[in-house]
A and B are shown apart, each in its own frame.
Chain A
Amino acid sequence: MRRLIWTCLLLFIAGAVVSSFTAEAQRNAEAAQRLPIIYWAQGVETASVLKQAGIEQIAALPDKADEWRKAGFNVIALSQQELEHREKLFVPRTAGRADVASATRRPWIDSNGWRFVRNPVSKFYYDLTGKGAGKVLLASAEAFSYRADAILKIDPADVAEFGKMLAFLRTLPLSNLPPVADIGLIDEGSPATGEVMNLLTRRNLLFKLVPAPAPQFRVNIQLGSKEYPLAEAADPNAFAQKVRQQLGDENRSLRIYGTEVVIGRLTSDGARVQLHLLNYSGRDVDSLRVRLRGKYGKGELKAFEVEAGLEDFVVADGATEFTISKMGVYAMIELPAVK
């Protein structure tokens, strides 16, 4: 009888584990296919505008969903209330904030990467109307880079821009590789920890959320611990700098030179890396230099709306460096790992 109970218990646990893995695999598979979606409240009479922009999927008001479907669109029915029930994201951009300005000429950046990392299964939305107009390219690239479930409420004047980005994103690999991280972070959900995550993201200090200090990371952060007192988080910029020094620049998986307005997301499955670069400045950046820890072969660069290549490619001392001759709002690089 006891053996039967144990067997049942083991089968239950195994089933739960398999189920958990299956659910995660399912989520990853869905995320991999995920492209940004716009919220379109207008009627089907505007279908030609969307079709001209190459848009095939929208979120539409429930009472208009069917007519949009009949017009050949993939539709998520979504009321205004349901949209606003989603977590609202920042309008991605550089912003002047005198109170936190740094004389190192580093502008303040409103980015959402850390929020996607914090809540990977959450549903988000951007309001890119009004003052958010004109930021649809960056927002859609940002959501795509993190494979976030994000809906973009856009200014109708930005439809063509969105369509261009969508067409570009369709040319990219739709794989969702595991993120690369150098830092473990225990997130208890506080705003203070959120701000630390924001600053780590902002400074390209790659972190992963862990339930407890993880031995594979040189640095594990738990706000409120002896090493990371809560008071230190009052200055998240200084906090991020402390973490950076503890990690050591030479141990960072990703470094970006030549700009302070580009944020990278690095993912890898061991056989290859994918680097997503998001330029928050609103203008092109010339000759961005990237250093990746690890040895990689020459791969492919795809940059949105600019002619660019990987130049001055060097592999040595356990690192790979290359220059992106020019980048606009977004670029993605895929490199194969080499022994």
Chain B
Amino acid sequence: MKRRTFVQLLAASPLASPLTCGEAEAADAPKYRAVSRYKPAATPGMPGPYPGRVIAVKSAKCLDDTGDHADPAVVREMMERGIRALTGEASAIDAWRYFIKPDDVVGIKVNAGGQPYVVSSPEVVAETVRNLMAVGVKPAQIYVYERFQSQLDDINYAPHLPEGVTIFAAELGNRGVDNNRYDPLTYVEADFFGEDDTRSNMIRLISEKLTKIINIPNMKDHGATGVTGCLKNIAYGSFSNVARTHYNGASHTLSFVGTLAAVEPLRSRTVLQIMDGLRGVWHGGPFAHTKKYMFYPKTIMFGTDPVAIDRLLLDIIENERKAHGAISVWERSEKYLKADDSRARDADPNVNIIIREPGHIEYAAKLGLGVHDLKKIRVQEIEV
């Protein structure tokens, strides 16, 4: 067992003497060194003002019969009801003002990896932008961001958004050769499998420009983490060089997802979680190249606590897998493992390509990112 040390550098110089701000132990967890010159907010955005609280807004009318098209008006109503219920405000604009000020520079972290079928819906993203502008945020202060330009291009959010909103990618594609949009002074260092490049750097946009972040993940199965929701989307979608955590059927996602999400300023600036569960994928995720494993929760969840939402997601995906007779996301037996054989995984829901680590959600709770205990999670369901 190795000892995990989480170190956050808070001084002005990024290489100044470290201050230990937390320690935890996990079996086989690598040694982490997190470096940042940013101090946490008085109330960090994660878990924010509503730890353990989740609003789940459902509507049978949000998608058409094919599931391909969302109804913007229904989505608008779902989002209004959700944000009002979360904050207790009477009007939607007051609810949004609770999180966002007119002078904020706002990033919307979308999930584009599940294109074409399960991505952050343009309707949800557009409605988020509309509300930000209603608060007084100018289009030039709004960034829809993801790591890879190629994925954003496939979705093409631009026609759904007002002129002036920036669609931003950190890299052209998943090639690891263009690093200039990552912050060299904000990173987590760890050696997972003997790789030479042991750093994962935060996107510069986050550290140097954004003042608030709204996270819009999807309800998805994930070959390495079990599920991918709020935590995985904000963590792996905001740092470079993260695919190195998976190798030959094993992964270090158990501890790395939460570790990344806890790095400042990402943790403090991510103030709102909007889980787009209009569509979901129960196997083969995070990708959704076919409709074979899609399902339709027709739900949007709201909260500030990414752990609580992801804990609910875990059961949603697990139940969907059970309904289809697929192995559990907790299954660790090697008899189901075909390391890195994505073709076999896509053909058979009883194939794992990596031993999944759904425990990453509980691990993140131990880092203070939210509430994992179901008994302490308060869910308010709303039907539209």
A314 lies within 8 A of B15 (CB): yes
Which residues 1-47 of B have a CB within 8 angstroms of A? 13-17
Distance to closest chain B CB from A183 (angstroms): 16
Pick 28 A–B contacts, CB within 8 A, sort by A.
A103-B193, A103-B248, A104-B194, A104-B244, A106-B195, A204-B196, A241-B194, A256-B196, A257-B198, A257-B199, A258-B179, A258-B240, A259-B179, A259-B197, A260-B196, A287-B178, A287-B180, A287-B182, A288-B179, A289-B184, A311-B184, A312-B184, A314-B185, A315-B15, A316-B16, A317-B16, A319-B15, A323-B184
**Cα-based distance from A312 to B246 in the complex (angstroms):** 30
B196 lies within 8 A of A106 (CB): yes
A103 lies within 8 A of B17 (CB): no
**Cα-based distance from A259 to B316 in the complex (angstroms):** 39
- 1/0 contact trace for B304-339 toward A, CB 8 Å? 000000000000000000000000000000000000
What residues of chain B lie closer than 8 Å to A155, measured between beta carbons? none
B195 lies within 8 A of A260 (CB): yes
**Cα-based distance from A285 to B192 in the complex (angstroms):** 23
Q: How many residues of B contact A (CB 8 A)?
A: 30
Contact A317 to B197, CB < 8 A, known contacts A103-B340, A258-B179, A287-B179: no
**Cα-based distance from A105 to B178 in the complex (angstroms):** 15
Distance to closest chain B CB from A108 (angstroms): 13
What residues of chain A lie closer than 8 Å to B15, measured between beta carbons? 314-317, 319, 321
Question: B191 at the A/B interface (Cβ < 8 Å)?
Answer: yes
**Cα-based distance from A259 to B15 in the complex (angstroms):** 21
Question: A203 at the A/B interface (Cβ < 8 Å)?
Answer: yes
**A103-B193, A103-B247, A288-B179 given; 17 more Cβ-contact pairs under 8 Å:** A103-B248, A104-B192, A104-B247, A105-B176, A105-B195, A106-B196, A203-B196, A241-B194, A256-B196, A256-B197, A258-B179, A281-B177, A284-B177, A311-B184, A314-B14, A316-B15, A317-B15
Question: B243 at the A/B interface (Cβ < 8 Å)?
Answer: yes
Q: Which residue in chain A gives the minimum CB-CB distance to B193?
A: A104
Q: Which residue in chain B gives the minimum CB-CB distance to A312?
A: B184
Which residues 271-292 of A have a CB within 8 angstroms of B? 281, 283-289
B243 lies within 8 A of A314 (CB): no
**Cα-based distance from A241 to B193 in the complex (angstroms):** 10
- 1/0 contact trace for A201-213 toward B, CB 8 Å? 0011000000000
What residues of chain A lie closer than 8 Å to B199, measured between beta carbons? 257-258, 289
What residues of chain A lie closer than 8 Å to B192, measured between beta carbons? 104
**Cα-based distance from A338 to B336 in the complex (angstroms):** 57
Which residues 192-214 of B have a CB within 8 angstroms of A? 192-199
